[in-house]
Amino acid sequence: MVVVGSYVVDLMSRTPHMPKPGETVLGGPFQMGPGGKGGNQAVAASRQGASVTMITKVGQDLFGEEAIKNFEQESIQTTYITKDEHEATGAALIAVDQHSENMIVVSLGACGNLTSEDVQQAREAFINADIILVQLETSIEAVEATINLANELGKPVVLNPAPFQDVRAEVLKKVTYITPNETEASLLTGITVHDEKTAKEAAINLFNAGIPNVIITLGKKGCYIYDGSDQGRLIEGFTVDAVDTTGAGDAFNGGFTTFIASGLSINEAAKRANAVAALSVTKVGTSPAMPTQKEVEHFLEREQVKES
């Protein structure tokens, strides 16, 4: 699998309340860790057993060195991670108050400078991959180059359209699977998605726009699938005690892409991806919270026992 996307360092601190303009607040504890949608999804996929090659860009700095070390520790191929000569490694500044509300400022830094040339240089990785996963947390140039190259080579491509940016209609038609959440599906279609009925309407809209497999994630409710074969269906989520929901969508996408590449049906891949997402919210953080393959297997076994 090839994952093309962002890498940023998450810099998080607890705070008793969100500071007002000009106010300094004493907070803590402080936590630093790997993040970014591309990096999170690559880790989620690798921990589910996928062989992953990451394509991103980091700075020539300590955070960039740590990024590569982290990917290597997760058994992710780093050959095509390039270093930007001018921009620093991206960072997310996160404040979390006592009610678990958060404020986040993301500076994409180097990964925002990912170019079509960077993508083309990884052509060999695309050739050897079973599937390609890309998000919108880099330049649109790199996203479109990724989708075009995958299409040229006959490789299925999963697009997680987050955070939302406009992608040309002719490029979207080349996507095999699209995985928006409720907000992104609303922005893509103009249909306000808030339940199963409106998810179906939006999914059909995207299918009619030329995308053959639409998966709209609905948080703890699960996900809605439409692939033209029937009237669509809701794949229910799992009930867990959530600690930190940050990164749940990334967990779903990394898991879903892995399971599709392994030959599972779209229904079964979505069900297992729901489990990956559910387990990820029971831990604090993004990449570090991604569950292992063994954890997911044990979780699904326990859920099956509950249902029987």
Annotated binding site: 8-10, 36-40, 137, 181, 217-222, 244, 246, 249-250, 274, 280, 283, 285
Asked whether residue 169 is domain-assigned, the answer is yes
Q: What is the pTM of this model?
A: 0.93
**7/97: higher pLDDT:** 7
For the residues 211-230, what does the mean pLDDT come to? 94
Catalytic residues: 250
Q: Alpha carbon of 217 to those of 82, 234, 308: distances in Å? A: 32, 10, 26
Report, in angstroms and rounded to the nearest whole number, the Rg of the chain calculated over CA atoms. 19
For the chain, what is the domain count? 1
pLDDT in tens, 196-211: 999 999 999 999 999 9
Q: Is 187 contained in some domain? A: yes
| Residue 50 domain flag | yes
Domain membership of residue 107 (yes or no) is: no
Residue 153: pLDDT band with limits 50, 70, 90: very high
Residue 53, domain extent: 2-6+37-88+112-307
Asked, for residue 212, whether it belongs to a domain, the answer is yes
What CATH number does the domain containing 236 carry? Answer: 3.40.1190.20
97, pLDDT greater than 70:
yes
Going by the annotation, the residues of the binding site for K(+) are 244, 246, 280, 283, 285
Kindly report, residue by residue over 262-308, the tens digit of the pLDDT. 999 999 999 999 999 999 999 988 899 999 999 999 999 998 877 65
> Has residue 104 been placed in a domain?
no
